[in-house]
Amino acid sequence: MSVDSALIVRKDALPTVAQLAADIAETGVAMDFPAGFALDQDVGGWVPVVVDGEPSGFNYAVQPLSGVDPADLPEGATEAGDTLLSFGGQGSLSAETVLLVQLVMGRRYRASLLIEDELLPPEDGWGPGAPLDDLHVGQRGSPAKLAGEVEARVARHYPPLPTARQTMVKDLVKQLVVFAIVFGALGGFYLWSQLR
């Protein structure tokens, strides 16, 4: 599963990774970013992070908004900022990690969320020092807990796909059953013809 979204921000308002980690810690979640990572740095790939001791991460890319075709942007995008931060989650914990980073960035740094060609601007009272109480794990749950709930819900509603070995055995049994039916029918005709 891949979940792709982006934030539009003002580059000069981007926090340091240490400041972002401190902001995220206010929600009750410990998130460790890799050494040398910076939010204004175009990684163009996977950023491994550790969330409450669990390995996670997300795809991350940075692009100036001036490099994006205006026809591809929703109305109000250029007023929202000058930099596009693209995120891609892979799996439930990765998606919850991206969501938490984006919620904190929106709340504290007035980042606008861009998802499926829709721009969601920050609320009026958001900015530096905005409260993160409703994002706290006591209210919302930890990323690992939320990811586990999603996986449990999916497992309840969608049976797992058979493994390649199970599929091979199933196909072999089908072939043997068809062979046995054909062989039994031919044997039955032969016996019937001999008994006549």
Q: Domain limits of the chain? A: 2-156, 163-196
Closest alpha carbon to 15 in 2, 1, 26, 3: 26
Read off the pLDDT of each residue in 1-22 and give the average, rounded to a whole number: 88
Which one of 2-6, 123-127, 144-148, 179-183 scores highest in mean pLDDT?
Answer: 123-127
- Which range, of 32-46, 110-124, 152-166, averages the lowest pLDDT? 152-166
The pLDDT assigned to 107 comes to 93
Q: Is there a contact between 105 and 10 (Cβ–Cβ < 8 Å)?
A: no
- Work out the mean pLDDT of the chain and round it to a whole number: 88
Reported as a single tens digit per residue, the pLDDT across 15-31 is: 999 999 999 999 999 99
pLDDT band at 156 (very low <50, low <70, confident <90, very high): confident
CA 165 to chain CA centroid, nearest Å: 29
What integer pLDDT is reported at residue 194 of this predicted model? Answer: 83
Cα separation, 135 vs 113, whole angstroms: 16
Mean pLDDT on 136-165:
80
For residue range 89-148, what is the model confidence (pLDDT) as tens digits? 998 899 999 999 999 999 999 999 998 889 999 998 888 888 888 887 777 778 888 888
Give the confidence band of 3 by pLDDT, cuts at 50, 70, 90.
low
Asked if the model's pLDDT at residue 1 lies above 60, the reply is no
Q: Are strands 112-115 and 2-9 parallel, antiparallel or unpaired?
A: antiparallel
Judge whether 50 and 34 are in contact, CB under 8 Å: no
For residue 193, give the DSSP letter: H
